[in-house]
Amino acid sequence: MTTSQTLFCVMAMLAAASLGGCNQGRDPGFQGWVEADMIFVSPDETGRVTKLDVREGDEVKVGDQLYSVDDDLQQADLNQNNATLANAKQSYDRAAALSKTGAGTQATLDAAVSGLRVAEAHVVTSQTRLARRKGFAPVAGTIQQIYFREGEMVPAQRPVLSIMPPGNMKIRFFVSETELPKLALGDEVKVTCDNCAADLTARIYFIATQAEYTPPVIYSLDERNKLVYLIQARPSRPDALRVGQPISVYLNPKTPVAIRQ
C-alpha cells in the first residue's frame, strides 16, 4: 500500500469515527402510528335511511342533525298509544266523577288512575322512539366515514356514520423493557413524520402493564420476537396528524434526532 493510500484510509477511518461520535447521544426513536377513538352514531331500531345531512369530512357541533331514518312504524305506534291514552282519560274522568258522588268504589278509581299512568308512559315511549329516528351529533368533531347511504336499510344499533373528535386522536408506539423505566404517565414526547411540523409533541396517558410481541405493522427485523409494551399519548396538535399516519416518537423532545441513512 502506498503512502497516499495509507493516508486516505486513515482519513476515512477518522471521518467514520467522527460521524459515529456525532450520532452518539442522539435518540434513535420508536416507530408508531396515529389512531383515533371514533364515536359511532346508530339508530335504535332497523330502518331505511331517508336523508343524510352531512358528508365525510364535514365539521359538526353537538346537536347537529346527521341523518333521518323512516318513521312510519313509530308514528303508527304513537297514534295507537295516543288513542289508548284518550280512552284512559275518559275512564279516569268517569271513575273520578263516580267517586265524588259515592256511586263508585275506590278500587275502580285506583284502576283508572293506574291505566291512565300506563297509557301516558306508552305515549312517552312512542314519542322517544319517533324522535330517535333522527340522528344528532353527540360530540363535536369531523365526520370520518359514512357506512349507510340514503335508501339503504340499516340494522338496529349498526352505525350510520362515525365522528372523530379532535381530543380522541392518539399516538400508539411500542418500547422495549429496557426503555420502559424511562417513561411515566404525563411525560411529553416528540413526534415526527414526513412533511410534518417540526414542533409536534404528545403527552403519555397510557402505559401497558402487560408485555406483548411486536405487532406486524412494525417491519423492523431487529424488533421481531421481542417483548414490548404499548404506549399511548395524546398529541398537542391533533389537527396536524391523520389517522393511520406512520410517525416516529422520541422520548426526550430536546434530544437531537438521529440521522437516518
Better-predicted residue by pLDDT, 256 or 93: 93
- Domains of the chain, with CATH numbers? 39-70+133-164 (2.40.50.100), 72-131 (1.10.287)
Residue type, 13: M
**This prediction's pTM:** 0.71
Assign 3-state DSSP to the chain and report helix, strand, coil percentages, each to 5.
35, 30, 40
* Sequence-distant (≥ 6) Cβ neighbours of residue 206 within 8 angstroms: 185, 230, 231, 232, 233
Proportion of the chain above pLDDT 70, given as a percent: 80
First vs last Cα of the chain: how many Å apart? 31
Other CB atoms within 10 A of residue 257 CB: 14
Better-predicted residue by pLDDT, 182 or 120: 120
Q: Are 175 and 195 in contact (CB under 8 A)?
A: no
Q: What are phi and psi of 124, to 5 degrees?
A: -60, -40
User: Is it the case that residue 44 has pLDDT exceeding 50?
Assistant: yes
Using alpha carbons only, give the angle 242, 61, 72 rounded to the nearest 5 degrees. Answer: 110
